Structure 1
């Protein structure tokens, strides 16, 4: 009985494979900005609580908490794209 032909495809180079990207590290400024945003957001909230709403922006009242969390969350979201 004759053997069937092999169904193997020729190997493609790594650069041609679908869904793969070349490894690129983050820019030098990425890590300091990421950690800086997390710290600034935390300091914003702490300042609001310690001064009993007098600072950082008195006109925002309790919305200062949301502003602080938003700044910190941007920093945390940056961690998902961080490559060392």
Structure 2
């Protein structure tokens, strides 16, 4: 039986994948500050809205805007850049 945070094929669901990308992004202080500066989120806002689709879309859009981060994040969390982009697209459409 698949876990609640995975799709039928065993891959992480969109929110789980985006949250993993968020954790990766916040692990490096300069990148975390760049995320906050770019999105306009305050640390308290990010904490309270971390799992909100709009916040996850903003995060993934931030990663897409700087391809080296997108690629490094994908490698760091064991996925592909295309999967992160597709996740953003699905979250945005929901």
Q: TM-score, normalised on structure 2?
A: 0.28
Larger Rg: 1
